[in-house]
Amino acid sequence: MISRTDESRESAANFPSVISEDFLKASIETDWSGHSARFGWHCGPIDIMNAPFNDDPCVSKVNAMVCMILGPSRRACGTCIEVDAGAEQLRQHMEQTHNTHLTALSLANTAEAEEATGQRSLIQFVITGRWRTMMFEKEPGVGPANGPLQKLCDFFESKARNDDVFACIWGRQFHRREEPVSVLGKRSRNADAPLPDLPSSKEADRPAP
């Protein structure tokens, strides 16, 4: 169980530097949902073109702090909200930018059950690679500085370096990175060099007729 770290009414998920094995296991074993009926949206794509997004509660205070409303391109928005600004700021962005109609967040403190539900949702979002591979209109990078996504990615990449079993199951990369760019860069710099003369494996594996 992750202990509550603050009583701020507008705090986003505030992950401690260590997630216990028990909480991690419980998170992974729960069916993933980025949205809980009880607390609202935590993370993951929001498809407002095909499903109304006006639930109450709409946005949980325990959320990714990156707008993931899908646009006409079917990519998510990617606008990051500073963690200190609070989840209500994200809700206002969603309402003003995406023409949604969302109830303002309550002023009540985040309950322990909401913390746990949101944290489980965020853990799964990151550990399964959903965050790393999601397509955005505006590249959010690591998300807002010191936000829940950055902390989770740091935590899991550090864990993967020290835990081969974990790395075998979940991989070693959780942060978003622009991998294809560097590959293309290398290729284009060496565009004049002859490509190694490798047989096509498809051809080689095909049995002779």
Residue with tokens 């010191």: 146
Question: Does 13 help bind Zn ion (rule: CB under 5 A)?
Answer: no
The nearest distance, CB 156 to Zn ion, in angstroms, is 26
Residue whose C-alpha is closest to residue 93's, from 82, 209, 203? 82
CB nearer to Zn ion: pick between 91 and 159 = 91
Closer residue to Zn ion (CB): 67 or 123: 67
Interface segment toward Zn ion; rule CB under 5 A; list 49-57, 59-67, 118-126, 147-155? 59-67
Among 13, 19, 64, 77, binds Zn ion (CB under 5 A): 77
Indicate whether 134 belongs to the interface with Zn ion (CB under 5 A).
Answer: no
Q: Is 101 in the site for Zn ion (CB under 5 A)?
A: yes
Using CB atoms within 10 Å of the CB of residue 23, give its burial: 0 to 12 exposed, 13 to 18 middle, 19+ buried.
middle
Question: Does 79 participate in binding Zn ion (rule CB under 5 A)?
Answer: yes
Q: Does 87 bind Zn ion (CB under 5 A)?
A: no
User: Quick check: helix, strand or coil at residue 117?
Assistant: helix
Stretch that binds Zn ion, among 14-22, 96-104, 120-128, 189-197 (CB under 5 A): 96-104
SS3 of 156, please? helix
* # residues near Zn ion by CB under 5 A: 5
121 CB-near residues (< 8 Å, 6+ apart): 32, 33, 34, 36, 42, 43, 44, 62
Q: By CB under 5 A, which span of 54-62, 65-73, 120-128, 135-143 interacts with Zn ion? A: 65-73
Task: Restricting to residues 159-178, name those near Zn ion by CB under 5 A.
Answer: none
Asked if 67 and 78 touch (Cβ cutoff 8 Å), the reply is: yes
Closest alpha carbon to 152 in 179, 178, 177, 173: 173
Q: Residues 6 or more apart from 22 whose CB is under 8 A from it?
A: 1
Q: Which is nearer to Zn ion, 101 or 161 (CB)?
A: 101
Q: Decide: 115 and 4 in contact? Cβ < 8 Å.
A: yes
Beta carbon nearer to Zn ion, 73 or 200: 73
Three-state DSSP at 53 gives coil
Q: Does 67 bind Zn ion (CB under 5 A)?
A: yes
Q: Considering beta carbons, is residue 5 or 97 the nearer one to Zn ion? A: 97
By beta-carbon proximity to Zn ion, the closer residue of 77 and 152 is: 77
